[in-house]
């Protein structure tokens, strides 16, 4: 499953993301769309329900009330509405989509792979855990990462006012 990939995932949405297309995008960590994008889960209009995590992920992304509106009516959202609802993170011009996705990917690639993996895992766990459990997991991860080479490099780079060179160790 896409959400189980340990590296950050980015969905570039340029046009229709309906049904399974939106379910795939919802499984990604970051979603960037173009103004012409239309998003929705219209399965109810076929007498069916989304079956690849769309309901659960949509509720987490936009909240119960908005998710029910979309799911019960099979509603389609334009890109700007999807952004205002938290369904996509950015809306960029069609000709800028690839460039923007590459910029985000480059920014992510410059960060510590260990820290990114931990943040992604902890955020996913936090979404499904009581607050106390999430806080304890954060403390445990912090305790492990504080002895990593990446953390030492990050602190050194900060003190030396330079970009860090992370190794994933």
Q: Which residues are catalytic?
A: 23, 43
Sheet with 76-78: strands ordered across: 16-18, 38-40, 76-78
Answer left, alpha or beta for residue 161, where phi above 0 means left and psi between -120 and 50 means alpha: left
| Side-chain half-sphere exposure of 36, counting CA atoms within 13 A | 8
Round to whole Å and give the CA distance between 93 and 72: 30
Name the nearest CA neighbour of 123 among 137, 113, 110, 109: 137
Of the candidates 30, 1, 4, the residue with the CA atom closest to the CA atom of residue 124: 4
Give the whole-angstrom CA distance, residue 34 versus residue 144.
Answer: 39
d(CA 81, CA 39): 10
């Amino acid at each position: 499953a896409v959400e189980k990939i340990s590296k950050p995932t980015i969905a570039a949405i340029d046009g229709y993301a309906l049904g399974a297309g939106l379910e795939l995008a919802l499984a990604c960590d970051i979603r960037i769309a173009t103004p012409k994008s239309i998003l929705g889960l219209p399965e109810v209009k076929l007498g069916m329900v989304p079956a690849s995590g769309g309901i659960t992920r949509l509720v987490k992304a936009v909240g119960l009330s908005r998710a029910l509106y979309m799911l019960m009516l099979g509603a389609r959202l334009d890109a700007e509405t999807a952004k205002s609802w938290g369904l996509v993170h950015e809306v960029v011009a069609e000709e800028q989509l690839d460039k923007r996705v590459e910029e985000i990917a480059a920014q992510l690639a410059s960060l510590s792979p260990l820290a990114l993996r931990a943040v992604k895992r902890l955020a996913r766990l936090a979404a499904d855990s009581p607050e106390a459990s999430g806080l304890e997991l954060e403390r445990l991860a912090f305790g492990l990462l504080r002895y990593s080479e990446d953390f030492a490099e990050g602190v050194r780079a900060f003190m030396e006012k330079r970009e860090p060179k992370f190794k994933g160790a």
